[in-house]
Amino acid sequence: MLQPRSPREPEFLAQLADLAVDCAPVVAYGALVPPAALDVPRHGWVNLHFSLLPAWRGAAPVQHAIMAGDEVTGAATFQLEAGLDTGPVFGVVTEPIGATDTAGDLLGRLAVSGARLLVATLDGIADGSLRPEPQPAEGVSLAPRIETADAQVDWALPAHVVDRRVRGVTPAPGAWTTWRGNRLRLAPVEPLSSSLALAPGELSIGSTGVLVGTGRGAVRLSSVQPAGKKMLAAADWARGARLEPGERLGAQVTA
């Protein structure tokens, strides 16, 4: 198995040429392949990308699709070229996004259907029955890598948007907020049309669970992970934390 630190390494290019491969498949590859490597396989490189191109080109297509509220996504196989996920497409499969799907859930399903698509694509290239079609110019969107800072919850957003953003970064890098000056990691939440007058980030503990106010409505916490501890049910955390009236999530992390 070839595992170069960079596809630009002369040693890797020489080894690739010696192998005389017909086609080089890649999955969720996080770097641009240089022209010197693209030209080596007789049929080029084929990438399996987890979106319906040209939507969500980039490193985190599944995460961004959930965060944007898309109802359907999928996977596409395409011919690698110098641009970022811009090559012509061989084939696609679609996948609905459920109301409670996390990025991990969706990636798990797409890995299965996408693997079948990649095999079918390689078979079609091998027997000459498949030709790639250019991506349309309309509908392009970008899905840059999501960093830990991007996963901080903004409680001023509406409840349904908070829900989508939390699911989009679950399991990695993981949604988080702050509480009493420390980070508090969050499992997926449930959006509610709460009649409670809760300010963004304000906590309410009662018979319906642990609620947090947002810019519109509220969300119910399922599980949380305080700094240095394991994930635990939100109700158990609230009992042990002895929350004070009007206490909020989202205050600035102390140095």
Instruction: Identify the pLDDT of residue 126.
Output: 95
Strand 24-27 versus strand 45-49 pairing type:
parallel
Instruction: Identify the pLDDT of residue 82.
Output: 87
Q: From CA 239, how far away is CA 53, in angstroms rounded?
A: 47
| pTM given for the model | 0.93
Local structure of 76: helix, strand or coil: strand
Average pLDDT over residues 134-155: 96
% pLDDT > 90, the chain = 78
Instruction: Identify the pLDDT of residue 9.
Output: 87
Residue 172 has pLDDT above 90, yes or no: yes
Which sequence spans correspond to the domains of the chain? 10-127, 148-241
CATH class assigned to 148-241: alpha beta
Gyration radius from the chain CA atoms:
22
- CATH architecture of residue range(s) 10-127: 3-Layer(aba) Sandwich (3.40)
Q: From CA 154, how far away is CA 93, in angstroms rounded?
A: 33
User: What DSSP character marks residue 22?
Assistant: S
- Residue-wise pLDDT for 182-210, tens only, equals 999 999 999 997 667 899 999 999 888 99
Peptide bond into 200 cis (omega under 30): no
